[in-house]
Homo-oligomer: A and B are copies of this chain.
Amino acid sequence: MKNTKEIFELALNAKFKTKECPQKKIYESIGYSLFAGGKRIRPILCMKMYEIFQNDDYDDVIDFAISLEMIHTYSLIHDDLPAMDNDDYRRGKLTNHKVFKEDIAILAGDGLLNLAYENMFEKILSSSEKNRDRYIRAAKIISDSAGIDGMIGGQVVDMLSERNDESRIELNKEILEYIHINKTSKLIEASLLSGAVIGGAIDEEIDIVREYGRIIGQLFQIRDDILDEIGDSEKLGKSVGIDKRNNKLTYISLYGLDKTIEIAEKLALDAKKCLQSLDRDISFFENMVDYLMTREK
């Protein structure tokens, strides 16, 4: 995983450079968030999934991995805005709008989202006939996962669940699940699926990857809830106990800590089991499950 991450960091550094131009400020703002120490989980999942169907020469897949991280990063910049979660810190650093002001932060988010697609179109345009169809299918999967019936839709419902007027959406188990699946799982799922599609996976394999993605998306979210309850704010680079203070509906408030851990363990088993039918070297993805179960930040 470390090696894959290093390859990704090098490629991202080569791809995105601040340049001298009247709008230099937005390059700085985008660079600030793009290189703020993210875990790079989505691009790594994409690259590693490509690898089990193809090989570890990531040239064919790296641009899509970069676009996935750009989409994830834009969503963080916009989520942190005063009109949304109003967060001052992210990963122990000031949030984008605290450094660059709100106008530039909004535009940096817009710019990153657009850049993700510029990047994909460039790759599609320059691709061989053989790869082209796979790229287009991968791009469609990614764009659908990020849209109003995906990540953005999840954030909308999350925002509305915190309102106190007639537009408020009351949280219940189904709505909580809806938020998690859309806000978090779908882009993670799309990361895995795009890697599989570009790697040449067939339909049956893609179904298995989708199921795995859906489960680890949930695991990711559950661990977030657990870390907010029992995590170390220094390691996390953000405050803990926020969900409880805000009376937020989480796995913990819904099931309690013990039962939540039990649910997570069951999901972890399911995730590993579903991949076994792939008949590929799935060790990385088994380890990923263990990592998601034990991560401290």
* Binary B-proximity of A1-41 (CB < 8 A = 1, otherwise 0): 00000000000000000000111011100100000000000
Among B114, B125, B146, B156, contact of A137 (Cβ-Cβ < 8 Å): B125
Q: Contacts A156-B23, A159-B103 hold; do A148 and B113 have CB atoms under 8 A apart?
A: no
Q: Are A102 and B83 in contact (CB under 8 A)?
A: yes
Query: Is A92 an interface residue when CB atoms closer than 8 A count as contact?
Result: no
Q: A121: shortest Cβ distance to chain B, in Å? A: 4
A residues contacting the other copy or chain, number (CB 8 A) = 54
Residues of chain B within 8 A of A25, CB atoms compared? 156, 160, 167
Greatest chain B CB density within 10 A among A101, A121, A140 is at A121
Give this chain's copy count: 2
Q: Are B157 and A144 in contact (CB under 8 A)?
A: no
Residues of chain B within 8 A of A132, CB atoms compared? 132
Q: Contacts A22-B157, A169-B22, A178-B22 hold; do A111 and B147 have CB atoms under 8 A apart?
A: yes
Q: Contacts A21-B153, A22-B157, A109-B110 hold; do A139 and B121 have CB atoms under 8 A apart?
A: yes
Which B-chain residue is minimally distant from A148 (CB atoms)?
B111
* Binary B-proximity of A81-112 (CB < 8 A = 1, otherwise 0): 10110000000000000000111101101110
